[in-house]
Amino acid sequence: MVVFRCTQRLAKRFALELAEDSPASTGTLGDWYANLLNIGHTRLVLCLSERTLLPVLLPARKAEFPGRFSAYLAPVLHGIGIASGLVEAEIASLGDVAFARTRSRSVLGALNDFAFNAAARLQHPAGPGRLIEAAVELADMPSKPIGQRAPQDVVHELFRVAGRG
């Protein structure tokens, strides 16, 4: 199961019913915070792992979010050097989807910071490949809520601690 902790803007855009409380995500990366990101005429969804702040960018279309989230997450994980077996296990854990309210102001602050930096990298997005490249670049950006470490370093550590890598 994967839980998307959505901002009100995103919930309104996709007409999502947000639960006050929900079960925890079963994947190693935990719950995902999600918000809309507008860059010119391009509408995107920016997702951040609550545990690691790993970013994933995908088009803000019902055909893409949340149904194809794993198709954008997998290449980002590969792009930061996570082994294929671990990526497959993480993707397999994303089965059911739930939507809930946000609960961490520090993750919301990081979401805003990542949105600003993503916008700078994506002035002229050129399709899904560029979204994945930008997410991998952002994964190397230090962030205060995770002790000024880069999300990719936290992801690697989390998979090692979980005994999965």
CA 128 to chain centre: 15
Q: Residues 17-51: pLDDT tens digits?
A: 999 888 889 999 999 999 999 998 899 999 999 99
Q: What is the mean pLDDT of residues 142-154?
A: 96
For residues 76 and 156, is the Cβ–Cβ distance under 8 A? no
Q: Which two tokens stand for residue 29?
A: 């990366």
Residue 164: pLDDT over 80: no
| Structural domains of the chain in order of their starting residue, each with its CATH number | 2-160 (3.30.420)
Categorize the per-residue pLDDT at 128 as very low, low, confident or very high, splitting at 50, 70 and 90.
Answer: low
Using pLDDT thresholds of 50, 70 and 90, give the confidence band for residue 165: low
- Structure confidence at residue 127 (pLDDT): 66
| Strand arrangement of the beta sheet that strand 42-49 belongs to | 55-59, 42-49, 32-39, 2-6, 97-101
3-state SS of 111-158 is: HHHHHHHHHHHCCCCCCHHHHHHHHHHHCCCCEHHHCCECHHHHHHHH
- What pLDDT does 23 receive? 86
Q: What totals of helices (H) and strands (E) does the chain contain, helices first?
A: 6, 5
137 exposure class (CB count in 10 Å sphere: 0-12, 13-18, 19+): middle
- Using CA of residue 3, residue 47, residue 57, residue 86, what is the dihedral sign? negative
Q: Any idea what the Cα angle at residue 30 is, between residues 115 and 109, rounded to 5°?
A: 30
Q: Tokens representing 91?
A: 């993707």
pLDDT at 125 over 90: no
pTM of the predicted model as reported, rounded to 2 decimal places: 0.93
* Tens digit of each residue's pLDDT (9 = 90 or more) over 50-104: 999 999 999 999 999 999 999 999 999 999 999 999 999 999 999 999 999 999 9
